Amino acid sequence: MHALLLALTFFSLHDVCLLDGPFKEAQETDRAYLLRLEPDRFLHTFRTNVGLPSTAEPCGGWEKPTCELRGHSLGHYLSACSLMYAATGDAELKRRADYIVAELAKCQAESGYLSAFPEEFFDRVETGKRVWAPYYTLHKIFAGLLDAHRHCDNAQALDVARQLADWVGLRLAKLNDDQIQTMLRNEHGGMAESLAEIYARTRDTKYLDLAKKFRHDWIFQPMLENRDILDGIHGNTQIPKFIGYQRIAELTGDADYARAARNFWTFVARDRSFVIGGNTTHEHFHPIEKFADQMKTVVGPETCNTYNMLKLTAHLFCEKPDAATADFYERALYNHILASERPGKGGFVYYTSLRPGTWRGYSRDYDDFWCCVGTGMENYARAGEFIYAHDADTLCVNLFIPSELTWKEKGLVVRIETKYPESDEVRLRFKCEKPVELTVKVRSANFKRRWRDGETLDVRVPMKLHQEFLPQTKEFVAFLYGPIVLAGRLGREGMTGQQFLAQRIPEKSAPLLSKTPSWVTDNPGSVLAHVTPVAGKPLTFRATGLAGPSEVELIPFYRLHEERYNVYWRCITPAVLERERQETAEQERREQALAARTVDSVCPGDAESEAQHAWKGERTAAGTFHGRRWRHAADGWFSYELKVVSDWPQDLLCTYWGSDGGRRSFDILVEGEKVATQKLERNKPGEYFDVTYRIPRILMQGKQKVAVRFQAHPNATAGGVFDVRVMKHE
């Protein structure tokens, strides 16, 4: 077994200190966030799971004691504390990491099992029964322990991780290959990566063998054969798998693992990413030829996808350094990761909407804990990871982030002094005890000489304004200055601060595309001429000649927060604009008439709207189609509570998609009484249609609300339902 020969090695975070600049500001905001969180609240469910006492208040959101994913955030928090200690030297964060490791060891000592949920969850995943993602959560715990071992020099953390890996090994030893492949259909994060890393640190081959058992052949084989089968697949289920496969390749030299990982990266980074470097909408890869359809939804790329893509990119760069890999890393780091933290206040973005006229929502300290909160905790501690890399006689400067590197083995300190990207000037300042013979590679430029104390190297980074179309279409265009994505500022008129605290923005809050600033032109390639710099304001531009409004200011997307924006801008012909204006006017007339009669409405599949209407259900699912949310129930049901006016005749209005068919047959009940049976049999192909059902007056007498239930017939599906309204009868 021969390890893959890596061309470069990154420096430890202990050796890289960020200096004043946007990443330092983001790091300090994140550090303050980590310090205001309480470790015992994360530990609560671990302790109660094994019968140990806990007086801490449980966390909420995805960490509440009833959530199947509980425990994942503790792993991220342990990683973040360890990484941030390495990046900043904050001793309190090391104390917290050491404390968490010791407390996890106590939990593990009770039964040999370590998690925040019962072991029975793993029984379910092994037999193909419904459960969220237990191995995904276990991977986060592994990752936290391994980060504490590496960055905090905590030997106990490796012991706990090793015992947990032994527990995994005992479970998998009972399964044959087919059973393991069935198990791997459930999201399992980067289990292969963690187990391979335990092998790297212990050199016990049983952990490498265990890592290889997490090779999911259903996705591995097509990637090995360079076949893109990603359409319709959940994005972030796949990315961590390939980080693990690449790590196995590094440790073993196995060319198949390396080839599969690089092919996967290429499909995602080259073919399936938006201008900010992020990928997927509604967490799934979409057909490449249908990028334009993704502008209809507000549920854009999720931040944790990009977190994982950066990890994979870094691994591939060390194997084979090239400009394309570094460019992708820089693009995604500045325009997605840096843009996904709420400046000064903390909180992280789950979905970055790229639909024109939308905005970003941020997490709350203890009430959310989505996957992107977990990775968000780590992102800004990791900001120094990719800046510098080296081999024996070469220093590579890959990013222009103000920072200071201490290369102890060389007796060398290198300092990057720059206001990049506001300025294209970058200065490297050298401090050394004695002259150092060294090649300094700044991206693709090499400078080889004997460096002396006090010497500087000045470089200028090529930066120009340019445009980039959404892949596969000329209908949407974005503007960049160098690698920095520029976003149009559209203000926050009519918005409240509370609207910026959300997992995602409501679909209904997004303006019609025809109401957003657009370019009216028969030549989309010419619009760049209408974007000009604003004198005296770095990285600030003005777009003129737009349709509604005619002028918009552009600034870096990472600096634009808590207001509406355009990242992509529509390019439409004058004829299309006029037709849309007429259609919009007609639609507004219909909506006004509808609103005048509406007593109450719920948007199925919209979490906020459904929560406000006491949603319940069994065997039900939700999603988005053509930018609209829906819900259905396969051999199940779902229900809402809607307001009524007890002394007025009222109807129930439901919206369906006219191409739905198959076994879609269901009853509609109000207050437990059937008021209608509905069948969806391609009733109106290619368009939405409404059906109105009369609500018997007796069901509303003396009531302010009624329960509306959609009940599937046996072996059939109820819905999809796109809108439910109680209407005053005309």
pLDDT, tens digit (0-9, with 9 covering 90-100), for 229-258: 999 899 999 999 999 999 999 999 999 999
Tokens, residue 521: 């032109």
Of 601, 605, 629, 602, the C-alpha closest to 617 is 605
Distance (Å, rounded) from C-alpha 309 to C-alpha 292?
23
CA dihedral 227, 232, 237, 240 (to 10 degrees): 40
Q: Is residue 60 part of a domain?
A: yes
Of 698, 696, 699, 652, the C-alpha closest to 678 is 652
Contact by Cβ (8 Å): 338, 303: no
Going along 658-712, which residue ranges are E strands?
A: 665-670, 673-679, 688-695, 705-712
pLDDT at 1: 60
Burial of 700 (0-12, 13-18, 19+ CB in 10 A): buried
403 or 3, which is more confident: 403
Q: Is residue 638 part of a domain?
A: yes
Distance (Å, rounded) from C-alpha 61 to C-alpha 621?
19
Q: Is residue 311 part of a domain?
A: no
Contact by Cβ (8 Å): 387, 16: yes
Distance (Å, rounded) from C-alpha 136 to C-alpha 130?
14
Of the pLDDT bands very low, low, confident and very high (cuts 50, 70, 90), residue 576 is: confident
Contacts of 611 (CB under 8 A, 6+ apart): none
Contact by Cβ (8 Å): 297, 507: yes
Distance (Å, rounded) from C-alpha 550 to C-alpha 563?
18
pLDDT, tens digit (0-9, with 9 covering 90-100), for 430-487: 999 899 999 999 988 999 999 999 999 999 999 999 999 999 999 999 999 999 999 9
DSSP result, 557-573: GGG--SSEEESSEEEE-
Question: Same domain, yes or no, for 449 and 472?
Answer: no
Question: Same domain, yes or no, for 46 and 161?
Answer: yes
Question: Same domain, yes or no, for 184 and 70?
Answer: yes
**CA distance readout (Å), 127 to 122, 130, 515:** 9, 9, 50
Name the domain boundary from 182, 214, 246. 214
Q: Is residue 560 part of a domain?
A: yes
Report the 10 Å Cβ neighbour count for 513: 19
Contact by Cβ (8 Å): 370, 62: yes
Question: Same domain, yes or no, for 455 and 472?
Answer: no
Mean pLDDT of 368-393: 97
Question: Same domain, yes or no, for 600 and 500?
Answer: no
Question: Same domain, yes or no, for 43 and 181?
Answer: yes
pLDDT at 627: 64
Report the 10 Å Cβ neighbour count for 52: 15
Contact by Cβ (8 Å): 652, 726: yes
Q: Find the helix packing angle between 22-36 and 371-379, rounded to 10°.
A: 120
Contact by Cβ (8 Å): 616, 639: yes
- Amino acid sitting at position 355: R
Distance (Å, rounded) from C-alpha 532 to C-alpha 534?
7
Question: Same domain, yes or no, for 42 and 170?
Answer: yes
Question: Same domain, yes or no, for 632 and 519?
Answer: no
pLDDT, tens digit (0-9, with 9 covering 90-100), for 612-655: 999 999 999 998 776 688 999 999 999 999 999 977 899 999 99
Going along 593-664, which residue ranges are E strands?
A: 598-602, 616-625, 628-643, 650-657
Name the domain boundary from 192, 214, 236. 214
Backbone angles phi, psi at 709, to 5 degrees: -125, 140
Question: Same domain, yes or no, for 117 and 161?
Answer: yes
3-state secondary structure of 601: strand
Alpha carbon 286 to its chain's center: 15
pLDDT above 90: percentage of residues in the chain? 87
Q: How many CA atoms lie within 13 A of 374 on its CB side?
A: 27
Q: Is residue 236 part of a domain?
A: no
Q: Is residue 206 part of a domain?
A: yes
Tokens, residue 478: 């974005």
Q: What mean pLDDT value characterizes the chain?
A: 95
Question: Same domain, yes or no, for 452 and 504?
Answer: no
pLDDT above 70: percentage of residues in the chain? 99
578 or 330, which is more confident: 330
- Segment among 57-66, 110-119, 617-626 with least mean pLDDT: 617-626
Contact by Cβ (8 Å): 691, 654: yes
Ramachandran area for residue 107 (φ above 0: left; ψ -120 to 50: alpha; else beta): alpha
Of the pLDDT bands very low, low, confident and very high (cuts 50, 70, 90), residue 585 is: confident
Mean pLDDT of 13-32: 98
Question: Same domain, yes or no, for 476 and 448?
Answer: no
- Amino acid sitting at position 666: F
For residue 500, give its domain range. Answer: 468-573
Contact by Cβ (8 Å): 93, 84: yes
CA dihedral 543, 548, 550, 556 (to 10 degrees): -20
Structural domain total, the chain: 4
Question: Same domain, yes or no, for 472 and 454?
Answer: no
Alpha carbon 117 to its chain's center: 24
Distance (Å, rounded) from C-alpha 420 to C-alpha 14?
23
Which is it for strands 394-397 and 436-442: parallel, antiparallel or unpaired? parallel
Of the pLDDT bands very low, low, confident and very high (cuts 50, 70, 90), residue 498 is: confident
Distance (Å, rounded) from C-alpha 312 to C-alpha 248?
12
pLDDT, tens digit (0-9, with 9 covering 90-100), for 598-608: 999 999 998 88
Q: Is residue 582 part of a domain?
A: no
Contacts of 391 (CB under 8 A, 6+ apart): 7, 8, 9
Residue 614 sits in a domain whose CATH number is 2.60.120.260
Contacts of 673 (CB under 8 A, 6+ apart): 696, 699
Q: Is residue 297 part of a domain?
A: no
Name the domain boundary from 460, 486, 510. 460
Mean pLDDT of 73-80: 98
Contact by Cβ (8 Å): 632, 661: no
90 or 433, which is more confident: 90
